[in-house]
């Protein structure tokens, strides 16, 4: 028989195992205090969501970076990238084409975190510490042969698989790229914020690993800060561009053409601060000309593989046109280049500002700032007014969609995502 001391330790250990769920119910967070026996009543918040959806949200969450309060909308609406309950917003295409690429259809379950490992395999480059990244090379994509002189990654931001159709992509529809492709890959995480997904593509890891969970993350002073800005924490893991720069002692050229600084996750550039010399062209009025400038500066001119990331914005037709112009120019100047074409996923969900305004009106004070997938709370205002995070959750639950239905299928504090394994 166990001694009294051992028995006490055992009781405490068993209590700790159930502590998260018990604590959430005790706090009556969100809908966790719904009456027993009522259809749809949930033991803890976040758990009512389908398991596959929860898995994607968990992959997009990083404690200390993600919003304080999060929610999943009942109805998909174009706008701020909240998570939609029924949306296929995480569907995205992946296309590899160029010298050294096998042709054929890729499995539908491949993820965007597998792009960087596949490129590394193409470059015959073994990155250190693969255990910190979820992505693995996609099978049967890469030929045996010399590494290409240039890899060009073209990413359509703010759109997903639905935008890749004949009506909106005439150049892509009219060209057989003779590569490996699928229109049914997954971003691997939700919400589908471009800054988060671009960093997934660049690192080979998910937001839960790299920590860039959206365009705005918790900054060094606790307030929301634009990802990759001076006030924001950096990626927790290195990008392929970072590691390749380091491995080649800067002889490789790493470049980015993109609309904003928050797109920098496609190449990184902040991991090895003392030596990194990337070429970054932001906000160019003519993205094709900007790519041409980098090609003229020597990209693809020697046997060391260079990496050029291009993040495109705007409508599908415009991105399709620019993609065609970039591909044709690169093929003319660097015939042995390899291309990757993908997208960050559709941005759907309730309007961020209107949700924030609605919550502020409900609680009677300006306590929230809307970011991808949730709300950051103004702790100073909350301390002064006595407003709690549970009141914010309840305010979100009270909001209606334009059709009159409840806007949120579930709203929950961010820390509930960390306890999802107890669902």
CA distance 150 to 305: 5
Which CATH number goes with the domain that contains 273? 3.40.720.10
pLDDT of the residue at 17:
39
| Residue 6 resides in a domain | no
| Residue 12 resides in a domain | no
How far CA 320 is from CA of 95, 155, 161, 314, in Å, comes to 14, 11, 13, 10
Q: Does residue 105 surpass a pLDDT of 50?
A: yes
- CA-based angle 402:92:197, to the nearest 5? 85
Q: Does residue 54 surpass a pLDDT of 60?
A: yes
Are 140 and 320 in contact by the 8 Å Cβ rule? The answer is: no
Residue among 269, 262, 191 at smallest CA distance from 231: 262
pLDDT of the residue at 87:
59
| Residue 359 resides in a domain | no
Residue range 159-172, pLDDT digits in tens: 999 899 888 899 99
pLDDT band at 84 (very low <50, low <70, confident <90, very high): confident
Query: Average pLDDT for residues 180-208, to the nearest whole number?
Result: 96
pLDDT of the residue at 423:
85
pLDDT band at 346 (very low <50, low <70, confident <90, very high): confident
CA distance 211 to 61: 8
Of the ranges 269-278, 297-306, 348-357, the best mean pLDDT one: 297-306
SS3 at position 341: strand
Q: Does residue 393 surpass a pLDDT of 60?
A: yes
pLDDT of the residue at 23:
47
Provide the mean pLDDT of the chain. Answer: 87
Torsional sign, CA 102, 103, 108, 113 = positive
How far CA 212 is from CA of 62, 76, 209, in Å, comes to 8, 24, 9
Are 212 and 188 in contact by the 8 Å Cβ rule? The answer is: no
* Cβ neighbours for 298, distance < 8 A, ≥ 6 positions apart: 253
Q: Does residue 42 surpass a pLDDT of 60?
A: no
Q: Does residue 112 surpass a pLDDT of 60?
A: yes
Sheet holding 306-312, edge to edge: 104-105, 180-186, 91-98, 338-343, 150-156, 306-312, 254-258, 279-282
| Residue 2 resides in a domain | no
Burial class from Cβ neighbours inside 10 Å (0-12, 13-18, 19+) for residue 125 reads middle
pLDDT above 70: percentage of residues in the chain: 86
Torsional sign, CA 350, 351, 356, 359 = negative
More confident residue, 11 or 386: 386
Q: In this structure, are strands 374-377 and 368-371 parallel, antiparallel, or unpaired?
A: antiparallel
> Which of 85-94, 151-160, 223-232, 235-244 has the weakest average pLDDT?
85-94
| Residue 298 resides in a domain | yes
Residues in the chain: 423
Q: Does residue 5 surpass a pLDDT of 60?
A: no
More confident residue, 37 or 364: 364
* pTM for this predicted structure: 0.89
pLDDT of the residue at 348:
62
- CA-based angle 384:390:395, to the nearest 5? 95
pLDDT band at 212 (very low <50, low <70, confident <90, very high): very high
Query: Average pLDDT for residues 353-373, to the nearest whole number?
Result: 91
CA distance 348 to 158: 9
Are 291 and 283 in contact by the 8 Å Cβ rule? The answer is: no
Query: Average pLDDT for residues 217-234, to the nearest whole number?
Result: 91
pLDDT band at 352 (very low <50, low <70, confident <90, very high): low
pLDDT of the residue at 29:
52
Overall domain count for the chain: 1
Q: Does residue 416 surpass a pLDDT of 90?
A: yes
pLDDT of the residue at 80:
61
Q: Secondary structure of 145-170 in the HEC alphabet?
A: CCCCCEEEEEEECCCCHHHCCCCCCH
| Residue 142 resides in a domain | yes
Residue among 73, 110, 105, 77 at smallest CA distance from 92: 110
Dihedral angle, C-alpha 253, 257, 262, 265, nearest 10 °: -40
> Which of 15-19, 206-210, 378-382 has the weakest average pLDDT?
15-19
| Residue 196 resides in a domain | yes
Quote the domain boundaries for residue 228. Answer: 91-343
CA distance 369 to 410: 19
CA distance 213 to 136: 21
Q: What are phi and psi of 95, to 5 degrees?
A: -135, 125
Residue among 152, 161, 195, 167 at smallest CA distance from 181: 161
Query: Average pLDDT for residues 371-394, to the nearest whole number?
Result: 93
Run of H or E residues at 124: none
pLDDT band at 403 (very low <50, low <70, confident <90, very high): confident
pLDDT of the residue at 79:
58
Residue among 180, 198, 172, 146 at smallest CA distance from 328: 172
Residue range 146-156, pLDDT digits in tens: 999 999 999 99
pLDDT of the residue at 27:
46
């Amino acid at each position: 028989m166990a001694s009294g001391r051992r028995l006490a330790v055992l009781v405490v250990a068993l209590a700790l195992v159930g502590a998260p769920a018990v604590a959430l119910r005790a706090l009556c967070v969100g809908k966790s205090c719904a009456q027993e026996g009522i259809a749809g009543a949930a033991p803890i918040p976040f758990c009512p969501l389908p398991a596959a959806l929860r898995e994607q949200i968990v992959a997009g969450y990083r404690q200390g970076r993600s919003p304080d309060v999060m929610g999943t909308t009942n109805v998909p609406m174009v706008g701020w990238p909240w998570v939609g309950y029924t949306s296929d917003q995480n569907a995205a295409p992946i296309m590899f084409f160029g010298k050294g690429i096998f042709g054929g259809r890729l499995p539908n379950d491949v993820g965007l975190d597998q792009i960087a490992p596949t490129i590394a395999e193409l470059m015959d480059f073994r990155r250190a510490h693969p255990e910190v990244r979820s992505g693995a090379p996609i099978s049967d994509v890469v030929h045996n042969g010399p590494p290409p002189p240039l890899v060009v990654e073209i990413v359509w931001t703010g759109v997903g698989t639905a935008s890749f159709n004949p009506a909106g992509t005439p150049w892509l529809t009219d060209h057989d790229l003779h590569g490996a492709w699928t229109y049914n890959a997954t971003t691997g995480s939700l919400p589908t914020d471009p800054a988060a997904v671009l960093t997934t593509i660049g690192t080979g890891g998910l937001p839960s690993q790299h920590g860039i969970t959206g365009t705005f993350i918790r900054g060094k002073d606790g307030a929301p800060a634009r990802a990759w800005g001076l006030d924001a924490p950096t990626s927790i893991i290195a990008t392929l561009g970072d590691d390749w720069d380091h491995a080649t002692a800067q002889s490789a050229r790493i470049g980015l053409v993109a609309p904003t600084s928050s797109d920098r996750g496609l190449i990184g550039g902040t991991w090895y601060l003392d030596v990194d010399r990337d070429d970054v062209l932001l906000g160019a009025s003519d993205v094709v000309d900007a790519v041409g400038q980098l090609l003229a500066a020597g990209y693809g001119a020697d046997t060391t593989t260079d990496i050029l990331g291009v993040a495109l914005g705007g409508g599908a037709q415009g991105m399709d046109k620019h993609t065609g112009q970039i591909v044709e120019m690169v093929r003319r100047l660097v015939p042995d280049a390899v291309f990757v074409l993908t997208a960050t996923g559709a941005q759907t969900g309730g309007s961020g500002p209107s949700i924030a305004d609605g919550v502020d009106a409900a609680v009677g004070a300006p306590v929230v700032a809307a970011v991808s997938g949730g709300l950051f709370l103004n702790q100073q205002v909350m301390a002064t007014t006595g407003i709690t995070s549970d009141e914010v959750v309840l305010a979100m639950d009270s909001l209606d969609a334009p059709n009159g239905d409840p806007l949120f299928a579930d709203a929950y504090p961010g820390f509930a995502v960390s306890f999802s394994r107890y669902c």
